[in-house]
Amino acid sequence: MKHQKIIIFLVITSFFLFIGGCANSNETMQPSSSAKVISEGEKLVIKASSFKFEPSEVKIPANKDIELQLDMGESLHGLAIPELNVDIKEDGESVMINAQPGEYTYVCSIMCGAGHEDMKGVLIVE
Ligand SMILES: [Cu+2]
């Protein structure tokens, strides 16, 4: 009888360890919280200012038409995603993008000053 109790105890303990292990591995699968998530039908507005993009990390669904708009107010910047043939240079201008899964870098395409080279963002498509 004593052995049986020990075995039951071990089975229950390992069961909870197993569940705990699964929960932990799921946690590491969570997307990083810093990326702004755009769902299908939502417009992606990227704000450009001196010298950064907001958001600088954004996630969109793959193989869906997403409207991408550049918002820069009074400042003068461009928004280029070379791999997607995107190069917006007017405030409020928008284009439709439809991308394969992957990570694409967006950059400023107008020489805007000292921080120009630092104007970068990541478009995560998945
Ligand atoms: Cu620039």
Mean pLDDT in the chain? 85
Count, residues in the chain: 126
Looking at residue 82, the DSSP 8-state letter turns out to be G
40 and 100 in a single domain? The answer is yes
Give the environment of ion ligand 1: residues with CB less than 5 A.
108, 112, 116
Looking at the 3D structure of the chain, how many domains does it have?
Answer: 2
- Please compute the mean of the pLDDT values over residues 56-65 and round it to a whole number: 98
Tell me how far the alpha carbon of residue 117 lies from the centroid of ligand 1, in angstroms. 7
CA of 91 to the centre of ligand 1 (A): 14
User: Which residue in 123, 66, 70 sits closest to 94, CA to CA?
Assistant: 70
pLDDT the model gives residue 55: 98
106 and 67 together in one domain: yes
Q: Are residues 60 and 77 in the same domain?
A: yes
Q: What is the pTM of this model?
A: 0.73
CA-CA distance, 11 to 41, in Å (whole number)? 49
68 and 15 share one domain: no
| Span from the CA of 16 to the centroid of ligand 1 (angstroms) | 54
55 and 114 fall within a common domain = yes
